[in-house]
Amino acid sequence: MTTASQPRNVLLVTAHPEPSSLTAALSSFAVDHLRAAGHRVRVSDLYAMKWRAVLDADDFPDHPADHRLEILSAQGEATRAGRLSPDIAAEQEKLLWSDAVILQFPLWWFSVPAILKGWIDRVFTFEFAHGPSVPPPYTEGALAGRRALLATTTGAGGPAFSDRGAHGRLADVLHPLQHGLFWFTGLAPLEPFAVHGAKDLSAHAFAAAREEYGRRLDGLFTDEPIPYRTLNGGDYDRSMRLLPGIEPEGTAGLDIHLRSR
Ligand SMILES: Cc1cc2nc3c(=O)[nH]c(=O)nc-3n(C[C@H](O)[C@H](O)[C@H](O)COP(=O)(O)OP(=O)(O)OC[C@H]3O[C@@H](n4cnc5c(N)ncnc54)[C@H](O)[C@@H]3O)c2cc1C
């Protein structure tokens, strides 16, 4: 059973080419679970949408074909003028609508499938997700006030992603998304939800995964986000380098993240 809480808006972005995949099953479970709890859910099913993964000049309808493409300035101008391509604008509208964002994906080569990377590249535009017109990164961030959850499946087992695992700690593998995407743009990242050993999952393990996922979804708006450091929290110098004596998050002999306030 889900716990009663204030209805909120949740955007679920899911990326798998097979509609009967484990990823798709977990996405459906999440949608049903969140709606049963009273939340409003919108889904961006990237393969079903035939999402165009590659950022190029077509993202900017006003860009003259014979001009050199300066990506950040083209993104910034198109964003400010409301002249991004309609598929990007639609996803940005969903992000602004949301109180929480969930990315559901199989771990491919220690990262997201290319179609989801393309969603990030194209949707988190300059002057929308970062840039001088929006609040600064790692402090407030353009998308502040929203939560973010990575929900992933991995072929390898959990121990391989532990502190002494061959693949490295899951927190390190997902750091580019948790810190570089979410925290940079102001989204408050929760601890990720991962189903390990997912290449061949028994019915029992699938049921256990759903149960755990349900618990995590129940905590979407109440669990404590990862307390990453803020740029203005006194830990960094002006060149964005940690001050002497302050250890990088998670490596100070403590397997936790620290934020000084
Ligand atoms: C290109 C590529 C790169 C990869 N890189 C990595 C990597 O870097 N690290 C790593 O650890 N792994 C990696 N993998 C493995 C990958 O992460 C897993 O195969 C994937 O996470 C499994 O999720 P899926 O949704 O594709 O599962 P599926 O293949 O759809 O299903 C996996 C299993 O889940 C069960 N299942 C599926 N659907 C259901 C359902 N509806 N109900 C109940 N049970 C179901 C079945 O037992 C099935 O065998 C990679 C795979 C690929 C293709």
Structure confidence by residue, pLDDT tens digits, 165-222: 999 999 999 999 999 999 999 999 999 999 999 999 999 999 999 999 999 999 999 9
Would 2 be classed as within a structural domain? no
Same domain flag for 112 and 211: yes
Beta bridge pairs of residue 188: 147
Domain count, the chain: 2
Mark whether 207 and 88 lie in a shared domain.
Answer: yes
Whether 224 lines ligand 1, by a CB cut-off of 6 Å, is no
> Which of 41-45, 176-180, 239-243, 254-258 is least confident?
254-258
Q: Flag whether 64 is in a domain.
A: yes
Task: Give me the CATH number covering residue 79.
Answer: 3.40.50.360
Q: Is the minimum distance from the CB of 108 to ligand 1 under 6 angstroms? A: yes
Q: In this structure, which long-range contacts are made by residues 242-249, counting pairs with CB atoms below 8 Å and at least 24 apart in sequence?
A: none
Same domain, 110 and 163: yes
% pLDDT > 70, the chain: 93
221 lines ligand 1 (CB under 6 A): no
- Provide the angle, in degrees to the nearest 10, between the axes of the packed helices 22-36 and 203-218: 40
Same domain, 255 and 193: no
Rg (CA), the chain: 19
Task: Tell me, yes or no, if the pTM score tops 0.85.
Answer: yes
Residue 116 Cα to ligand 1 midpoint, Å, equals 16
Give 21 Cα–ligand 1 centroid separation in angstroms: 8
Q: Are 120 and 46 in contact (CB under 8 A)?
A: no
CA-wise closest residue to 196 among 101, 107, 104: 107
195 Cα: distance to centroid of ligand 1 (angstroms): 9
Report percent pLDDT > 90 for the chain: 89
Residues 106, 234, single domain; the answer is: no
Q: Are residues 197 and 251 in the same domain?
A: no
**What is the per-residue pLDDT for 260?**
37
Closest-CA residue, ligand 1 atom 48, reads 200
Mean pLDDT across the stretch 134-148?
94
Residue span of the structural domain in which 73 resides: 9-218
* Whole-angstrom distance, CA of residue 100 vs CA of residue 218: 12
Cβ neighbours of 251 (radius 10 Å): 9
In a domain, 256, yes or no: yes
Let me know whether 189 and 84 are in one domain. yes
